[in-house]
A and B are shown apart, each in its own frame.
Chain A
Amino acid sequence: AQKVTQAQTEISVVEKEDVTLDCVYETRDTTYYLFWYKQPPSGELVFLIRRNSFDEQNEISGRYSWNFQKSTSSFNFTITASQVVDSAVYFCALMDSNYQLIWGAGTKLIIKP
């Protein structure tokens, strides 16, 4: 079965700490994509990153980095030197070979000043 698990329902850290959000997926497909979206308190979900199943290179964008490991079926998201503006719900999602998106339940990240 296709499934995305975000085991951390809520994480709370103090500003400037590093934090990692976990995402574990299950799929039978050999071709698939993984996504991260951010949902700030304003409500709308915002696309952060897309990764295909053939590219295991880690990605860094400013304070954000993503670690994709097929061996452990994980696509984890790390925020370095967290800021209050990073407070949001973060969703990991899997797009399967039929282009269907399977969403994780989300991780609520609270950054305290």
Chain B
Amino acid sequence: NAGVTQTPKFQVLKTGQSMTLQCAQDMNHNSMYWYRQDPGMGLRLIYYSASEGTTDKGEVPNGYNVSRLNKREFSLRLESAAPSQTSVYFCASSDRHDSYNSPLHFGNGTRLTVT
């Protein structure tokens, strides 16, 4: 079982460039999430998709867009990268967003550096 797969694993961008982070899960989960992890700050939710066809902002959505392409795939786009977006990005999925009994399953992360 692959679980949650993220691509790429590493990326370096120049300020102003755009890119899309890809995420796919094979667990038939309904909900998917994008987090960023910065030193000393834990994880912060960027966007999530409670179910196919819906997306909602999290704690830090500015500068990002998302697309829930289908039930399996949830992409994160940076339209004009800024150095403040240098971070490690994690995709996660869960069976249901509105449930205490659906722990998150995470991908391996994408380490993004914006120069």
Give me the interface of A with B, judged by CB distance under 8 Å.
Answer: 4, 9, 33, 35, 37, 42-47, 50, 52, 91, 95, 99-101, 103-106
Contact = CB atoms under 8 A, between A and B. Distances in A.
A22 to B, nearest CB: 15
A52 B88 CA distance: 29
B108 A43 contact: yes
Listed from nearest, the 6 A-B pairs whose CB atoms lie closest are: A103-B42, A47-B103, A45-B106, A43-B109, A33-B100, A103-B43
B74 interface: no
B42 A45 contact: no
Given A44-B107, A44-B109, A101-B43, 18 more contacts: A4-B42, A33-B100, A35-B103, A43-B109, A44-B108, A45-B92, A45-B106, A46-B106, A47-B103, A50-B100, A50-B101, A52-B100, A91-B43, A95-B100, A100-B45, A101-B104, A103-B44, A104-B42
Contacts of A46: 106
B99 interface: yes
Contact of B98 (A33, A47, A99, A106): A99
Contacts of A45: 43, 90, 92, 104, 106
A99 B100 contact: yes
Contacts of A95: 100
Contacts of A35: 103
Q: Point out which of B4, B42, B105 has the most chain A C-beta atoms below 10 A from its C-beta.
A: B42
B108 A105 contact: no
A88 to B, nearest CB: 13
B97 interface: yes
A33 B92 CA distance: 18
A19 to B, nearest CB: 20
Contacts of B40: 9, 105
Interface in B79-115: 88, 90, 92, 97-101, 103-109
